[in-house]
Chains A and B, each alone.
Chain A
């Protein structure tokens, strides 16, 4: 009967699912904090448990991503470009994938962050996750953006959030450089293969912030069109 009526004209909104997706992604990457805490204590069974939880969130995000793609066929008339929206979704999803990779790599090798850089690493990790949370905050403005027709004050507000996101990412870059320097000094005392992977983990954690920044950039492009 719905086909018979005016309400068939209104397709399902992609905005709520998109917001829900980034919330899942943030939940997923947030698990890294307790995960690394467990690793530091070398409590590997606890770490495995947290990784499973993290992986579950990542899978949920994947399901949502696929569902959203299927619900966005061509022939929808939307206030934002469909390609931009799908690209944004892809970027969001990459954050969760990266978080899963990090946990997997650490757990697989039972890799421990050296005690002398642990505090610094923890701060670095938290800052990178801050970036993903900021990105989620900006994405969560999408429904308000819709209310206001994607212009005016609300756009300014989102622009401000994206600037903050950029600032956080800058922060993490500086922290990463410092962290690498510390690790360089420690290199001779450590197993060379572990060192290799430690550099990789530092890189990947930094990628979380990079990807979050890219989500912000995609959002900006989405707003700039039309």
Chain B
């Protein structure tokens, strides 16, 4: 208890630095996954991708990152076990951050695909269950989170399958695919805009003290989506098509329309990623700040300090600006045969799933959701070749990330306990 009063600000600073580092790591590494499909299908240049990612990652983190942050901060642990010794929760959260950041660093250096979400959840569960008490973990909640890791890739796969098939029916398998593309692509833009706007309005604006009623929320979301679709339509009408290409390859011009759609879905993806993954960095930080600010009281209902979400957003953007360029450039080169019409289906499905999960406060893995979506498009016979070995690696990585995140955080937890207490 005393430790919190004496060195509370030191602990907050430590937590803030590690949290910022974690956000920076997410920006440098993880964003590449969110933006990779857009760059890979050549719908965006690297520079455009970075700019979109900066704006929408920050917006996503700031506007819709609150729910997941709350889950990470206080949903996983049972606060009653920490009432007598709140400093343990502070140490634990800082250790969890340290553990997740360390694991992210190691895995990145080794080129393993890891999920920041899995490592932070594993770390929090680890220190609480082993370092404090097995019952200190709200296992029902953890079960729900782990269940969502299995279900969300499935859901996004099904959505991607449906979106891709609808695009095939409405646009590709018709007499005049180009005309059909011009007609229907704005509808997909509408869909993307609607989901994004709705989640932001319903979940995100709360902490900005903007309260909008349910019906009003739907109306505003609808209006936003219409605006997005109209802007899209204007850009589509301004596209220049190569008439000679129409004879040679039927779908080159159609893909140009889809490339525009992909700019919209890339924005969605960045927003979705920001909204879900920012919590991995700042959720534990928010917990530390709230305890220290309340002088050791674990307040069940307290708002996240105003500066925390922007700090996370800033960290992600900084990581992107410094390292994201290089990462996206490397992945942009290796890719073949991912056309915008496939990429959009995968991205839109993944973004919708992630944004909805963010709204529900579920910390999920963006990468795995996207992989699920890609497999969905593959099931619809849309992708030339999917490397199942890499898919397996990604699945394996989340299975091993949990125990490793847990083990690291226990070690850090005991070290901190030894140092401060």
Binding site for B on A (CB under 8 A): 1-16, 72, 75-79, 143-144, 146-154, 226
Tell me if B37 and A78 are in contact (CB < 8 A): no
Q: How far is the CA of A77 from the CA of B381 in the complex (A)?
A: 10
Main SS of the interface on chain B?
A: helix
Which of A146, A148, A153 interacts with B384 by CB under 8 Å? A146
Taken together as a complex, chains A and B put the C-alpha atoms of A3 and B388 apart, in Å, by 13
Residue of B with least CB distance to A82: B385
Instruction: Report if B8 contacts A (CB, 8 A).
Output: no
Bound: A13/B382 CA distance, A: 12
Q: List 14 A-B contacts (CB under 8 A).
A: A2-B330, A5-B331, A7-B40, A7-B331, A7-B334, A10-B385, A10-B387, A13-B385, A77-B378, A146-B384, A147-B339, A148-B168, A149-B164, A153-B175
Cβ contact within 8 Å between A10 and B335:
yes
The contact of A78 among B113, B165, B327, B385, by CB within 8 Å, is B385
Question: How far does the alpha carbon of A144 sit from the alpha carbon of B388 in the complex, in Å?
Answer: 24
B241 is an interface residue with CB less than 8 A from chain A: no
Which of A72, A75, A152, A154 is B389 in contact with, Cβ under 8 Å? A75
- Say yes or no for B250: interface residue by CB 8 A criterion: yes
Known contacts A9-B374, A77-B375; A144 and B33 CB within 8 A of each other: no
How far is B250's CA from A153's CA once the two chains are assembled, in angstroms?
12
For A4, what are the chain B residues with a Cβ–Cβ distance below 8 Å? Answer: 29, 32, 107-108, 111-113
Q: Does B409 contact A (CB under 8 A)?
A: no
B390 contacts the other chain (CB 8 A): yes
Contacts A3-B112, A8-B390, A75-B388 given; does A152 touch B381 at CB 8 Å: no
B23 within 8 A of A: no
Evaluate contact between A144 and B389: CB separation under 8 angstroms.
Answer: no
Q: What is the total of A-B residue contacts with beta carbons within 8 Å?
A: 136
Q: Which of B331-379 contact A (CB under 8 A)?
A: 331, 334-339, 341, 367, 370-371, 374-375, 378
Decide if B249 touches A143 in the complex (CB within 8 Å).
yes
Q: Which residues of B contact A152 (CB under 8 A)?
A: 168, 172-173
CB distance from B113 to the nearest CB of A (A): 5
Instruction: Tell me the complex Cα distance, A171–B164, Å.
Output: 42
Residues in B lying within 8 Å of A, measured CB to CB:
29, 32-33, 36-37, 40, 107-108, 111-113, 164-165, 168, 172-175, 249-251, 327, 330-331, 334-339, 341, 367, 370-371, 374-375, 378, 380-391, 393-394
A141 to B323 Cα, complex, angstroms: 41
Q: A76 near B381 (CB under 8 angstroms)?
A: no
- Interchain residue pairs A-B with the least CB separation, the first 10: A13-B384, A79-B381, A152-B173, A13-B337, A11-B385, A77-B386, A11-B387, A8-B390, A6-B33, A1-B330
Known: A2-B330, A4-B108, A6-B367. Is A144-B36 also a contact (CB below 8 A)?
Answer: no
Smallest CB separation, A203 vs chain B (Å):
37
Report yes or no: A144 in contact with B249, Cβ–Cβ below 8 A: yes
Query: Assuming the A-B contacts A5-B113, A7-B335, are A14 and B387 also in contact, with contact meaning beta carbons closer than 8 angstroms in the complex?
Result: no
Given contacts A6-B33, A147-B341, contact A12 B336 (CB under 8 A): yes
Which of chain B's residues have a CB closer than 8 A to the CB of A10? 40, 335-338, 374, 383, 385-387
